[in-house]
Structure 1
Amino acid sequence: MKKIAVIPARYNSTRFPAKLVQDLNGKPVIVRTYLAVKNTQLFDDVIVATDSEQIKQLIESEGGRVFMSVRSHESGSDRIAEAVASIDTDVVVNIQGDEPFVSKENLQAMLDALEADTEKQISLASVMTPITAWEDIENPNHVKVVLDKDDNALYFSRSVIPYPREKQQKMPYFKHIGLYAFRKEALRQFTQWETGVLENIEKLEQLRYLENGKKIKMIRTQHIGIGIDTEEDLTKARLHWHKD
């Protein structure tokens, strides 16, 4: 099974402009992420997909491969699909450019799930982690996922799902982590589907796959890194890097 990793790396960010070129203990954030993925040695190739000449130069200075986006995109899946359109591969793994602490174990587990699915019933795999604090469960910035008995996704939502009508009843809740391993054909199909009602309401692109009958295998994990969305996250990442 041929596997490539694509790191989408937009220069502009609403909450933290130019975050990917900020210094993380001697190297820019995007370079740290690229090297972390490269060093897992899980992939036949690692590509950074960007719209920024500055990011392109930073990655190429490390000997990395860069795809320059020629179109603007509404979703990460669309951006990645453009980058891999002409590449011969079976599986494409999406790692965000602001995840320098990405877990090799999580990446391996997603790849293993697709490789074990010899009948290719699973279109993509993703990652989730248990959450127990009620403020996290209620937080719309934490996307929740509910599962069938085989840990395939039934639905993703920013709301509390499932809703605990009887408060005393214990129910596990899972937060979705934005790592994906796609079969390349699923990515191609994604770009051809209309945006669905559920995706429009929740603003969650993974719902487009479910609305079109695709199976998403969810991997349970406790390996949660530090995603850099704010300046406070960057400060935390710098401190964590010292500890390592």
Structure 2
Amino acid sequence: MKKFALIPARYDSSRFPGKLMKILGEKTIIRHTYENTVATGLFDEVFVATDSEIIFDEITQNGGRAVMNKRPHESGSDRIAEAIADMDVDIVLNVQGDEPFVQKEPLEKLLQVFDGDAGADVQVASLMRKFSDPEMVKEPSNVKVAVDLNNNSLLFSRSVIPYHRDTTIEVPYYHHIGVYAFRKNALMSFTNWDITPLEAAEKIECLRYLEHGIQLKMVEVSAMGIGIDTPQDLERARDFIGK
């Protein structure tokens, strides 16, 4: 199977404009994400998909590969679908541009769910980790996921899920990490569907799959570094690098 990694990257983030070009250590966030993805050695090709000439130049002028999108997109998956439409690829892994601490092990675990007989029916997969700080569960910028007994997704939300009505029962809270892997045909179907009501309300693109009856196979990992959603996240990331 051919496996590509694509990194959707737009310049005008609604919550943190221009964040992918912010400096983290000695490089921009998007360069960290791209170079760390390449360094895993897991992929036949790695591309940044963007509609920003600034981001395109940042990648290509530093030896990387990038694709310019020809039309605007509401989600990273739509952006990737346009980029790979004519590419010969089986599995596409979507690495969010604001995940500069990409590591090999979690991505490898994500790709493995498509292998063998057990993986034949998996169409889409993604990563999650248990929250270690209860206060972080309350943050709307941290997307939560509830799963069934086989780690298939039941719901994604910016709200706290599940609601802990019976406090005598211990339940885990999972943070959805914005890294996805798709079979190409599943991704192309996704991009032909209209934006769905829950997706539009929550601004969580993978809800489109759930609203069309496709569960995501969730893979639990222990660490992925720090995703950059807010200026506060960037400061935490800078402190992390500094240590």
TM-score scaled by length of structure 2: 0.92
CA deviations 1:164-187 (Å, max 9, x no partner) are 222221112211111101111111
Structure 2: how far apart are the matches of 1:25 and 1:119?
Answer: 39
Q: Secondary structure at the match of 1:127?
A: strand
The SS at the match of 1:114 is coil
* 1:156–1:207 Cα contact (<8 Å) kept: yes
Question: Across the two proteins, how many residue pairs are aligned to each other?
Answer: 243
Tell me the equivalent position of 2:76. Answer: 76
Question: Which amino acid in structure 2 is aligned with residue 165 of structure 1?
Answer: R
SS in 1 for 2:70: coil
CA distance in 1, matches of 2:160, 2:233: 25
Tell me how far 1:65 sits from its aligned partner.
1.3
How far apart are the structure 1 equivalents of 2:183 and 2:241?
Answer: 33
Whether the 8 Å contact between 1:11 and 1:17 is mirrored in structure 2 is yes
Distance 1:148 1:235, change over 3 A: closer
* Correspondence 1:201 to 2:201: yes
Calculate the TM-score normalised by the size of structure 1: 0.91
- Tell me what 2:86 maps to: 86
Instruction: Give the % identical residues.
Output: 51
Tell which deviates more after alignment, 187-196 or 136-145.
136-145
Structure 1: runs of 5+ lacking an equivalent: none
- Shift in Å, 1:232: 3.5
Mark the runs of 5 or more structure 2 residues left unpaired by the alignment: none
- For the 8 Å contact 1:155–1:210, the answer to whether it is kept is yes
Tell me the equivalent position of 1:13: 13
> What SS does structure 2 have at the residue aligned with 1:115?
coil
Which residue number corresponds to residue 43 of structure 1? 43
Q: Which amino acid in 1 is paired with 2:83?
A: A
CA offset at residue 47 of structure 1? 0.3
The CA distance in 1 between the partners of 2:22 and 2:72, in whole Å, is 23
**Contact 1:153–1:217 (CA<8 Å) still a contact in 2?**
yes
Corresponding residue of 2:225:
225
Contact 1:136 1:142 (8 Å CA) reproduced: yes
Residue in 2 aligned with 1:108?
108
Judge conservation of contact 1:122–1:214 (CA < 8 Å) in 2: no
CA–CA separation in structure 1 for the residues paired with 2:141 and 2:188: 28
Moved more, 231-240 or 184-193: 231-240
Cα RMSD of the aligned pairs, angstroms, is: 1.9
Q: What is the aligned partner in structure 1 of residue 131 from structure 2? A: 131
